Amino acid sequence: MKNIVILISGTGSNMAAIARTAQKEAWQEKRDVRIAAVISNKADAQGLILAKSLGIDTDVLSHGAFESREAFDAALMVRIDLHAPQLVVLAGFMRILTPNFVQHYAGRLINIHPSLLPAFTGLHTHQRAIDAGCQVAGATVHQVTTALDYGAILAQAVVPVLQGDSAETLAARVLTQEHLIFPQAVRRFFEHRV
């Protein structure tokens, strides 16, 4: 069985999009791929409730309980590795990861970012795209490297920036595309590792 571990910090909508696609397309039966666990750094993350409702094991490891980023990442790696994942998916996991963590999962760690990378790395991407006068925005699924929001691009979706858009309205349109391209990128990851 090829295991996926998904890391979240919030609502888990991208996690749910991946999980529902996996169920709809019978990944476990047809591809020998399953979501083994969803892990959050926040005990109150709504995505944990959603994951449980989808029949996925959940775990919480609060970053606040650790004295350093390195200590948290080391403990997180232990929790993740219990599931022997072939792929670790960052789906709204709001932590900058240490180089040791990234290197440990090199080639099997992916993220989604709400911009057309390499444009607008970091936070506040939608407002920055509007302020820059962009006519399009979007989302990118990419391999994670030690550089923030950098790495091989696996999938992208383009969304028009409309007259009168706010960061919130643009974000909502981008999110609908994230829910489409993220499951596709995960599926393709395993198709190339047959």
The catalytic site residues sit at 113
Sheet hosting strand 153-160, strand order edge to edge:
58-60, 33-40, 2-8, 85-90, 109-113, 136-143, 153-160
Question: Is residue 141 within 8 Å of 112, Cβ to Cβ?
Answer: yes
**CA 178-180-183 angle, 5° bins:** 95
136-143 and 153-160 as β-strands: parallel, antiparallel, unpaired?
A: antiparallel
d(CA 70, CA 54): 31
Cβ(100)–Cβ(74) below 8 Å: yes
Residue 29, exposed/middle/buried by CB under 10 A (0-12, 13-18, 19+)?
exposed
State the DSSP H helix or E strand holding residue 135, giving kind and residue range, or none if neither: none
